[in-house]
Structure 1
Amino acid sequence: MTGRYVRVALDHPLDALYDYRYTLDACEPEPGMLVRVPFGRREAVGLICEVNAHSDVPANKLRDVGAICAACPPLSAPWLALAGFAADYYQRGLGEVALPALPQALRDPSRWARLLAPEERYRLLPEGRAALPDALPARAQALRRLARALADAGELEAAEARALHPKAIATLDAWCEAGWVEHECIEFGAAAGAAGRVPAAGAAVEAPRLSDEQAQAVEAIGAASGFASFLLHGVTGSGKTEVYLRALAALLERDPGAQALVLVPEINLTPQFEAAFRTRFAATLADEAIVTLHSGLAEGERARNWLAAHTGRARIVLGTRLAVLASLPRLAMLVVDEEHDPAYKQQEGLRYSARDLAVWRAKQLGVPVVLGSATPSLESWWQAEQGRYTRLTLSRRAIADAALPTVRLIDLEEERRRGRASFEGLSGPLVAAMKARLERGEQSLVFLNRRGYAPVLSCDACGWVAGCPRCSAYVVLHKPERALRCHHCGWESRIPHSCPDCGNVDIAPMGRGTQRIEEALASAVPGARVLRIDADSTRRKGSAQALFSDVHAGDVDILVGTQMIAKGHDFQRVSLVGVLNADNALFSHDFRASERLFAQLMQVSGRAGRAGLPGEVLVQTRYPRHALYHALARQDYVGFANAQLGERRDAHLPPFVYQALLRAEGRTLEAALAFLAEAAGALAAVPAAERVTVYDAVPLTIVKVMNVHRAQLLVESQSRAALQATLRAWQPALRALRGVLRWNLEVDPLDI
């Protein structure tokens, strides 16, 4: 056959490309362009991966491309290679990687025309700057607001103008006729090589003086030629963000058209990073040259920011894990802050590690990548020990008089033996320390990684415990909402007045969550302004930022929260950190539990004493002699990491072996286990399987969620290549198996 044919990737589980006939006159098709195609009885958006002069599909089975997104520049060959690598390594179809990585608005053909329309801008001319203030009536507040915004920014996009005044476009057109304003219509993508809007002149923000260690780190990153992976190991408060800022400033000075990607683990960390970057680059970059990408953005805003990165107009992109798959055609540096954080591993759909993909992407492009953390992951630490990563160390805090906090362990068993009073889980020494901080006008932080009021509601008379009818888990008591809520499926009910089994009215909460500690603090520390920050108190958009602003403004005396407050935040007035209920993680079946707990405690400890105030950390524990707490008291990450790596080596655990996890979900546990048993049998027939160890199928810790039963099968090998080859050969047999609702294969699992 002759003509034009395209092979298209669709968001579909099968690892296949689909052939279509291209008959459109809109433009010549290219790899990386989006198309609308018929698929079964519906239409779908796909990504062109190949353009050919022939097709092996019979002509009577070929269907035509319905539409092509001609206005959007095609995704680059390196981006397609990145998506291809992620699909291959994580054992998914190319379309399952490429299409979800795009903004939802770009996957809707009905929005293409509006989203990719030519950009209209209005620029204020010198004549207008002189004439406008006197030409507007004093009572025309909306017109004055429009004129003021135009004068401040120098120019406005049409959409920005409409948001300020309902008749903005007609008004601006009139000002154009008067010679005060210039109208410009820019075709989409035409500004791909520009640096963006020229920022208004202003006083340069003076950067702080670098310490010797910071200067050495910046110099090493700047001197890198081609691919280089740096592990920036800096204690909390050591100024890792300043190193990022200086390294990016040097990059943009060398190459004004370069782009950089900065990843953070959580959405609530993006506002402070964005503020720091906009402040530092205010004199050199326009507002539109710094954009954010995360799931908390509205669809339209996320699409605009993604397109700004895709066309090269955005120079610095700040984002969470999904941003690692953003299209940046001139990407010249990547930064992964808090690289150890488990949030970088996606737990649904494509189960990828954003940190690992960032390193691969940097190697692919031949550019530097900086992985920063006070508590690096053991995988990254091992890479540095082997010399694959260059380790840069910041051993002191950036502020001259700011020292690391002292860590003291409160032995709860000793407190109990001596009959000392406690306040709902708050020991006497911790309460006394908080009262002392309150008197001095300093802030305290109480960390408890458990939200809700209490994890269990039970009956002492008959042993009844409130459980979720859809999950094999207890429901959590949320006292302010007067509700019992399952944190796995969202099921919710009212608090019963009596025990459903025996009628006893003395049902009581067991254990403590952040809500209960917030309540206890009100009576334990009278007069203190207590604020709770967790997933329950920050459900509304923008609420987390508002609450953190209250803390920074000094309107809070005691902050109570979960891991949301444990990392990345620069609390200037916090001088005391109290840690509650950390012991639970000491005896977990998960071999990564100790690593996570140590990182969590080191991170939350680092919130104290950052601005020169003497910092203190009080950890309540029943196991004060545990080696983890001794390493924490010494602030000895290096000793802890090396000890953990020794244990992992002896036990043949990652990073010394490579793992994959097959999970199955069925209507019964027996069905899920039977599927995994068949899968293990099929694996035995795979030729490459002799270098792979297969463990017995077992139920998950939380066996049932939403009435679906779950089990898992662990596969591991000492060779990454052997594991990958085995998984690839195993996939056809897995797809042929039946008997479960769903199954998924996860490479490099974090939760086992």
Structure 2
Amino acid sequence: MPIETACLQVAILGPLPQIFSYALPENSGPLPPGIRLRVPFGKNSRMGILLGYGDCPPDITLKPIEAVIDTQPLLPQALQRLLHFGAHYYHHPLGNVWSAALPAHLRKGRPLPEVVPRAYRLARPEELPSRPGKRQTALITLLSAPTPVTEIPAPLRPLLQQALKKGWVEARTLPTPQISAQPLPYALNAEQCHAIQQLRHAHGFSCWLLDGITGSGKTEVYFETIRPLLEAGWQVLILVPEIGLTPQLLARAQARFGGEAVAALHSAQSDTERLRIWTRAAMGQVQLLIGTRSTLFVPLPRLACIIIDEEHDPSFKQHQGWHYSARDMAIQRARLENIPVILGSATPSLESLYNVQQGRYQLLQLRQRATNAPLPEITIVPLRRQYLQGGLSSTLLSACRDTLAAGNQVLLFLNRRGYAPAVLCHDCGHVLQCPRCSAALTWHRQQERLRCHHCGHEACWPADCPECHSAALITAGQGTEQLEEVLRQRFTDTLVWRIDRDALPGREGFASILEQIHQNQPAILVGTQMLAKGHHFPAVTLVGIINSDQGLFSADFRAPERLLQTVLQVAGRAGREERPGQVLLQTHLPQHPLIQKLAAGDYQEAAQLLLQERIQAGLPPCTALTLLSAEAHQRAPIQRFLKAARNCAPPSLHISGPQPALLERRAGFERAELWIEAPTRQEMQKALRIWLPCCQQLPEGRKVRWSVDVDPQFLR
């Protein structure tokens, strides 16, 4: 189209479904898609992304843009196409998708920082301060040899800037960091060598499932696979599901490949630090980038391979805002960039196993541990009629005592934070509920607070029961805090570490605890999901699963799969080196088929049984599922909207509901949903493109908050 009759098509950064048109700036040449613009919006200004040019709407005077922020697109074409695909597939506003993909400072319109690597050193001795203070003396000592800015402590950096202005410190540009691979720490076994050989010969787009038991050396397979790529100057992206897994993997990668060209990116960093690493990666100064979900959208101009570690983990699915799966989007990015992608796990998701069966993924298996240590034996501990102390049976307590006496460590897994998951009246049975959610309040004894783990509501311990006014209020059930208390009382001379979100002050606190654990002194580790996967604890020889029954009867059809994965992942922390390990699985249902499969320790057979059940029931992964969720302060408008939405749905969709959500009330909102099923993802997408615009036009939709979750991983 002639540029004289065109207008700019702009996606405003935020949850706005429309694309907005603006007049071209005067005396400007063609602007490339993917740059940031500051545009007038209502009475204010907003940041937007230029999508391209369109025909000017007739009889409308368009507002001109206020400023062009960038001269070049922030993201390359492949990443722009990925974001458009993500907005299209998950039916989410494109502006909000761009917003999720960019660092916070870029969303606010800040320029890209200068990240040329520099080192600083003393310049002219005659310019040095005659009577330097403490900090000046520290800086002078530090800069007696050329020092990169990353090695200069933050308190000294303002002084560094003053010294540069005064001339007694000078800067010089360093060469771009290069990978310097260290030799392998140990000889690889035949299975590892075969996997590396296959992966190194992967060219173009291909998807590989690396199915390796816990301790089989998947990380070394990753590193040896990508070593030739890094040495040749290419870039590699490794995604992990949780921040807690980054310190250990980053330390291993830096020890193997050098520290300058390896970096990690995650939400625990400051916005300034995240932008600096983002920019370094975009300029090619980071060759190996490790990070969580949003790291997927970092521009890497020489990207040669993507690795998704613990690919089964549901944390790869974003549960707020844009409901994307980082695993699935990583596969799509690999397809767009025509590079291989590796999915690694000891307990692969049923979706990945199904894709192997369908010929979409190629399978590589590691069936033996890298250290040749045997897998720990899993023993069922029946709890019926047993006296329990804080949820611990006498069998497990005796095993803990013997393990500590032998100089080893114990890991006890309980996926419940707090002291007790419920508080009830001993006289009338009333359970203290969150006033804003349909959930019981959890008692946190150390903070002396009742807390809702869904909305964050807090309260003090009440003087009496709100129902019958009895003072006989008691706790019910066990959490990690109570388990820690019991263990400290039973093992007074033993270190007990509780590892959950309440006990650790951020990522640094977790890294500090990990350092102490790796000193391999006798200790007890009590933890939640934070300990369940990816960690290597050489001295842990006993793993105790405190409560394995809570995942057996959930209304979420994925609960048995998650129970299987979690228990086997935790079990894999035991006996990873020369010390043999054992696992004690406490249960009130020792004869349950899934418990029996867990005791056998064979994930493949159990997963195949679960997969067959899914296929027979017509559930994912053999079919496509979408949730249409709605919430409001009253139930009536939710029901009216969901019924109206169901009535206008295409006949190709099978819809169940309206039905209450698993958590019917959260943060003061009533919640319900529609289950939408289709035989394939293609048919689902075709129908959603017709149906969702109709839902947006429903007048009933204006009185509720509603959202769409394509391929949901949790029923919430």
Could you tell me which amino acid in structure 2 is paired with residue 343 of structure 1? S
- In structure 1, the partner of 2:679 is 718
The question of whether the paired residues in 2 share the 8 Å contact of 1:30 and 1:51 is answered with: no
Matching residue within 196, 199, 213 for 2:176? 196
The question of whether the paired residues in 1 share the 8 Å contact of 2:293 and 2:326 is answered with: yes
1:249 aligned onto 2:227: yes
Query: Matched residue of 2:100: which SS?
Result: coil
Query: Matched residue of 1:584: which SS?
Result: coil
Query: Matched residue of 2:247: which SS?
Result: helix
1:336 aligned onto 2:290: no
Give the share of equivalent positions with the same residue, in percent. Answer: 38
Matching residue within 548, 564, 579 for 1:582? 548
- In structure 2, the partner of 1:350 is 322
Deviation at 1:366, TM superposition (A): 1.0
The question of whether the paired residues in 2 share the 8 Å contact of 1:695 and 1:715 is answered with: yes
Q: Distance in 2 between matches of 1:80 and 1:615?
A: 48
Query: Matched residue of 2:459: which SS?
Result: strand
Deviation at 1:119, TM superposition (A): 5.1
Cα 1:493/1:555, change in 2 over 3 Å? farther
Could you tell me which amino acid in structure 1 is paired with residue 358 of structure 2? Q
Q: Single out whichever of 459-468 and 227-236 deviates more from structure 2.
A: 459-468
Deviation at 1:153, TM superposition (A): 5.9
Which structure 1 segments of 5+ residues have no match? Answer: 185-193, 684-688
Query: Matched residue of 2:648: which SS?
Result: helix
- In structure 1, the partner of 2:458 is 492
Could you tell me which amino acid in structure 1 is paired with residue 388 of structure 2? S
1:727 aligned onto 2:688: yes
User: CA offsets, 1:31-85, max 9 Å, x none?
Assistant: 1111111122221111111146xx3224752111211223665321111100011
User: CA offsets, 1:521-547, max 9 Å, x none?
Assistant: 123334222111111112445222222
1:142 aligned onto 2:144: no
Spell out the pairing of 1:53-68 with structure 2 (5 A cutoff): 55-58=55-58, 60-68=60-68
1:80 aligned onto 2:80: yes
Spell out the pairing of 1:299-318 with structure 2 (5 A cutoff): 299-318=271-290
1:608 aligned onto 2:608: no
Q: Single out whichever of 349-358 and 316-325 deviates more from structure 2.
A: 316-325
- In structure 2, the partner of 1:236 is 214
Q: Distance in 2 between matches of 1:151 and 1:272?
A: 32
Q: Distance in 1 between matches of 2:362 and 2:146?
A: 42
Deviation at 1:662, TM superposition (A): 0.2
- In structure 1, the partner of 2:38 is 36
Matching residue within 187, 192, 196 for 1:214? 192
Deviation at 1:117, TM superposition (A): 5.0
The question of whether the paired residues in 1 share the 8 Å contact of 2:282 and 2:301 is answered with: yes
The question of whether the paired residues in 2 share the 8 Å contact of 1:10 and 1:17 is answered with: yes
Q: Single out whichever of 460-469 and 335-344 deviates more from structure 2.
A: 460-469
Deviation at 1:16, TM superposition (A): 3.4
Matching residue within 113, 116, 132 for 1:116? 113
The question of whether the paired residues in 1 share the 8 Å contact of 2:115 and 2:279 is answered with: no
Cα 1:167/1:720, change in 2 over 3 Å? closer
Deviation at 1:208, TM superposition (A): 2.4
Query: Matched residue of 1:641: which SS?
Result: helix
- In structure 2, the partner of 1:406 is 377
The question of whether the paired residues in 1 share the 8 Å contact of 2:403 and 2:542 is answered with: yes
Query: Matched residue of 1:697: which SS?
Result: strand
User: CA offsets, 1:243-287, max 9 Å, x none?
Assistant: 11111212112x31x2211100001111111111111111xxx52
Spell out the pairing of 1:596-635 with structure 2 (5 A cutoff): 596-635=562-601
Matching residue within 630, 636, 655 for 1:694? 655
Deviation at 1:501, TM superposition (A): 2.8
Q: Distance in 1 between matches of 2:134 and 2:183?
A: 33
Q: Distance in 2 between matches of 1:362 and 1:373?
A: 19
Could you tell me which amino acid in structure 2 is paired with residue 682 of structure 1? C
Cα 1:723/1:634, change in 2 over 3 Å? same
1:750 aligned onto 2:716: no
Deviation at 1:585, TM superposition (A): 0.9
Q: Distance in 2 between matches of 1:358 and 1:662?
A: 25
The question of whether the paired residues in 1 share the 8 Å contact of 2:263 and 2:289 is answered with: yes
Query: Matched residue of 1:243: which SS?
Result: helix
Query: Matched residue of 1:213: which SS?
Result: helix
Cα 1:24/1:117, change in 2 over 3 Å? farther
Deviation at 1:166, TM superposition (A): 3.5
Cα 1:152/1:641, change in 2 over 3 Å? farther
Deviation at 1:695, TM superposition (A): 0.9
TM-score, length of structure 2 as denominator length: 0.94
Q: Single out whichever of 244-253 and 15-24 deviates more from structure 2.
A: 15-24
Q: Distance in 2 between matches of 1:703 and 1:662?
A: 14
Matching residue within 475, 481, 491 for 1:525? 491
Cα 1:710/1:144, change in 2 over 3 Å? same
Cα 1:150/1:27, change in 2 over 3 Å? farther
Q: Single out whichever of 499-508 and 32-41 deviates more from structure 2.
A: 499-508
The question of whether the paired residues in 2 share the 8 Å contact of 1:161 and 1:169 is answered with: no
Could you tell me which amino acid in structure 1 is paired with residue 539 of structure 2? R
Could you tell me which amino acid in structure 2 is paired with residue 406 of structure 1? E
The question of whether the paired residues in 1 share the 8 Å contact of 2:407 and 2:521 is answered with: no
Which structure 2 segments of 5+ residues have no match? Answer: none
1:167 aligned onto 2:159: yes
Deviation at 1:441, TM superposition (A): 1.2
The question of whether the paired residues in 1 share the 8 Å contact of 2:36 and 2:68 is answered with: yes
Deviation at 1:666, TM superposition (A): 1.2
User: CA offsets, 1:598-638, max 9 Å, x none?
Assistant: 00000000110112211000000111122222222222111
Query: Matched residue of 2:101: which SS?
Result: coil
- In structure 2, the partner of 1:514 is 480
Query: Matched residue of 1:8: which SS?
Result: strand
Q: Distance in 1 between matches of 2:105 and 2:206?
A: 35
Q: Single out whichever of 299-308 and 523-532 deviates more from structure 2.
A: 523-532
The question of whether the paired residues in 2 share the 8 Å contact of 1:457 and 1:466 is answered with: yes
Q: Distance in 2 between matches of 1:195 and 1:380?
A: 42
Q: Distance in 2 between matches of 1:308 and 1:711?
A: 45
Query: Matched residue of 1:260: which SS?
Result: strand
Query: Matched residue of 1:703: which SS?
Result: strand
Cα 1:154/1:379, change in 2 over 3 Å? same
Deviation at 1:12, TM superposition (A): 4.4
Spell out the pairing of 1:631-670 with structure 2 (5 A cutoff): 631-670=597-636
Q: Distance in 1 between matches of 2:375 and 2:78?
A: 43
1:224 aligned onto 2:226: no
Q: Single out whichever of 159-168 and 700-709 deviates more from structure 2.
A: 159-168
Calculate the aligned-residue CA RMSD, in Å: 2.6
Q: Distance in 2 between matches of 1:147 and 1:391?
A: 56
Query: Matched residue of 1:334: which SS?
Result: strand
Matching residue within 249, 271, 280 for 1:273? 249
Deviation at 1:427, TM superposition (A): 0.4
User: CA offsets, 1:382-435, max 9 Å, x none?
Assistant: 1112222111111111113x221110000112xx2xxx5432221011000000
Q: Distance in 1 between matches of 2:555 and 2:125?
A: 70
User: CA offsets, 1:119-178, max 9 Å, x none?
Assistant: 5834559xx7xx979989897653454355556665447x958752543234346667xx
Could you tell me which amino acid in structure 2 is paired with residue 229 of structure 1? C
User: CA offsets, 1:499-523, max 9 Å, x none?
Assistant: 2333322211011111111111123
User: CA offsets, 1:68-104, max 9 Å, x none?
Assistant: 2236653211111000110111011221211221011
Matching residue within 478, 494, 501 for 1:535? 501
Query: Matched residue of 1:602: which SS?
Result: helix
Q: Distance in 2 between matches of 1:78 and 1:613?
A: 48
Q: Distance in 2 between matches of 1:627 and 1:133?
A: 81
Q: Distance in 1 between matches of 2:130 and 2:212?
A: 57
The question of whether the paired residues in 1 share the 8 Å contact of 2:380 and 2:587 is answered with: yes
Q: Distance in 2 between matches of 1:170 and 1:631?
A: 66
1:100 aligned onto 2:76: no
Deviation at 1:495, TM superposition (A): 0.6
